[in-house]
Structure 1
Amino acid sequence: MVRSVPQLELQQVCAMSLVQILPLAVVMIAGPQILAPIFLATSENWRANSTAYVFGAALSISLVVGIAYLIGNSLGGGGGGLLGPTGQQLLYGAVFVLLLYAAVETYQKRNVSEPPKWMGKLTTATPRFSFRLGFLLLGFFPTDIVTSISVGTYLAANGDPITHAAGFVLLTLFILATPLLSVFVLGERAEAALPTLRDWMDDNSWIISEAVIVLFIVLVLQNLLG
């Protein structure tokens, strides 16, 4: 059966939305979010701790994105919902404001050198502590909750299915699991290289995050201005 032109165009638009939100996974892991799994990967109970951290992150990210999508879809996702096209424009406006906040927050925290107090507990962490940390960091850290809400509302405004958030969530989790996977594969060589990676991420991740946020702001502005 030959697909109609409108169906193909719809699929292309949906695919573009999916590709556009994937880079925001970088914003999600920048900062203590990626530093924590690096420490956990070299902790006493590294397998259980790292797995618990990623599982906690998966739960909180999915929860925030899902709630944001449901609220956005009920207001005006894809031009439908309670407010119709007006709601759709409001959603784009909300994403724009959220991303501006994330950009400012990332810039202000760029030179924060004092590590959080909880970071000193990571070498002797328990799976329960690691799960809580992953849930709270990836779900409720200021830039992370803003990014997750932006993804959910952006998909709702475009009329895309919630399943398109899966790529964003999975890519974020894959990056968070990279220290664990590297220790599995490389062993002691990974343990020696992880501190160097940790220091580089601590010094430069904010620049990458800002670049991704600015790119997404431009995309949202294009949608907002028609």
Structure 2
Amino acid sequence: MDGLNILPLAVTMMVGPQIVSAVILVTTPRPVRVSLAFLTGVAAATTVGVAVMSALAGVLDSAVDLGGSSDGGSTGKIIQYVLVLLLALGALKNWFRRETVEPPKWLGTLMTADPRRAFTVGFLIILLMPSDLVVMMTVGVNLQQSGASFVAALPFIALTVLIAAVPLLCFVLFRRRVRPAVPRIRDWLNTHSWLVNIIACLLFIVLILT
């Protein structure tokens, strides 16, 4: 995708409850099966999300010219600047609520998740997460501005799934070393979810502005 660094985009997709879910699933009794189901859900949701956002960007482009990706005053750029404002407000909200923010209750239920539930969580956690919708909209707008086909988004989708798979890969490759550390990592991510969300917002803001 011309003009976009897909690595920060893919990282932003998984920062927050998304990566926490992936970490929790490797602590379940059947970590490989449920994690693979989770990754399948993430892949399906990202593919669907990018396709839908690209289609919406196409409809918008037909009504209002989005302009080129290098045009700082184009409608497409204005949309991205609005997204920056929303993300900045989200980061401030997380900062001011940092003392009271608690992880979603559904995260605790993943400890006993089966493959079906893991797939459902992987699918919905992408399509219902505002930050991920913002990222996928940005990808869709960029595809329209650069005149690229959906194929150009495949590296982004693949990299998103790869980052989601990092906890599982670490578990499989370094099981003896990773297993004792996973619960501590999971607990830290749970108690510092506000910080993780702020980092995600700031990362995406920097990505858009640069």
Partner of residue 157, structure 2: 169
Partner of residue 77, structure 2: 92
Which structure has more RCO (C-alpha within 8 Å, separation ≥ 6)?
2
Partner of residue 131, structure 1: 119
Which residues of 2 match residues 1-226 of structure 1 at below 5 A? 16-18=2-4, 20-76=5-61, 81=62, 83-84=64-65, 89-110=74-95, 111=98, 113-199=101-187, 201=189, 203=192, 204-219=195-210
What is the CA–CA distance in structure 2 between the aligned matches of 1:117 and 1:74, rounded to whole Å? 37
Return the letter of the residue paired with 1:36.
Answer: S
After superposition, give the CA deviation of every residue in 1:111-154 in whole Å (9 maximum; x if it has no partner): 26412111111111111111111111112111111211121112
Residue 54 of structure 1 contacts residue 177 of structure 1 at CA under 8 Å; is this kept in 2? yes
Structure 1 vs Structure 2 CA RMSD: 2.4
Greater helix percent: which structure? Answer: 1
Q: TM-score normalised to the size of structure 1?
A: 0.77
Q: Which runs of 5+ in 1 are unaligned?
A: 1-13, 220-226
Q: Which runs of 5+ in 2 are unaligned?
A: none
**Deviation (angstroms), 1:197:** 3.4
Q: TM-score normalised to the size of structure 2?
A: 0.82
Greater CA radius of gyration, 1 or 2?
1
The percentage of aligned residue pairs carrying the same residue is: 32
- What is the count of residue pairs matched by the alignment? 200
Return the letter of the residue paired with 2:121.
Answer: L
Partner of 2:148: helix, strand, or coil?
Answer: coil
Instruction: From the superposition, tell whether residues 94 and 108 of structure 1 become closer, same or farther in structure 2 (CA, over 3 Å).
Output: same
